[in-house]
Structure formats: structure tokens, C-alpha cells
Amino acid sequence: MASPDPLVARILKLLTPLGPVEARRMFGGHGLYLEGTIFAVIFDRTLFLKADEKTKGAFEKRGYGPITYEGRRGQEVIFPYWETPKELLKDGKALCRWAQKAYETGLRANAKKTPKGEKRLARKCTDETPPTARSSRRPRYEPDF
């Protein structure tokens, strides 16, 4: 078993006051989760916290930006995770305040999502769905609600 990353262990220790934060390996880095909600990622020895329109101003004001990469078609793809000021890794209380905001951002993002099955069902149930070879026939039973 590989030894844990010291940076990840240090960040988890600093975030102890938030609750049971878990680090899960992902895409060559780690995702940080609280109660099943991802709120931060660690890539290239850098902590990135989740931000949205409501919270990204705090990062922008300090000159930090989001994770970006070039997509398949050459377009810039922007992740909603913003680089965190290095000073936060020295001040556990401040890090917890920022992480709490990132966790709340994660909760807001989760609330906007609809489960995959519900999306498919909603798409199937609308009258605006374009007819296909299979769906062009009218169903034999029309619900009465």
C-alpha cells in the first residue's frame, strides 16, 4: 500500500473542524468530500476549492483563477474549482471558512442537478420530443392524468 500524500494528510488535518472530510484519488489528484459532496480538489500540489457566481469574487479579488484545460476541439474548458491562496494552508481557521463556502457551493451545485433517470424520463414525456422511427407511432394507451 502506498504511503499517503503528505500534503493531502496535512489538508485533511486542517479541515478536521468541518467534519469527516474524505480524500479520494481521482485523475492523478485527489477530490475532497464532506458528507458525499465534493468541494475541493488537489492537483499538482495545489488546493482548488469549488466556487460559483456567488463565491468566485473572493478568488478573483486575490488574483486566483479556476482550473482550465484545452478540450478535444481546442476550446478552453473551465472547471468550477479555483486555486486557493497558499496562506490558507498555514491558517486552519481561515481554510475551514473558505472550505465551508466551497462545501455550500457544492451543495448548491448538487441541488441544480437532476438524476440521470429523471432527465431521460422528462425528455421522453415531453410533446416536444422530435419523432424518431420508433417513437413516431402513437402509444395505444394514453394516461388520463
Query: pLDDT tens, 39-51?
Result: 999 999 999 999 9
Query: pLDDT tens, 114-143?
Result: 666 565 555 555 555 454 444 445 444 444
pLDDT band at 27 (very low <50, low <70, confident <90, very high): confident
The residues spanned by each domain of the chain are 6-119
- The answer to whether 94 touches 109, Cβ cutoff 8 Å, is no
pLDDT, mean of residues 77-98: 93
pLDDT, mean of residues 85-98: 93
**∠ CA 13-19-22, rounded to 5°:** 65
pTM score above 0.85: no
For 6-119, CATH number out of 3.30.70.1560, 3.40.50.300, 3.40.47.10, 3.30.1460.30 equals 3.30.1460.30
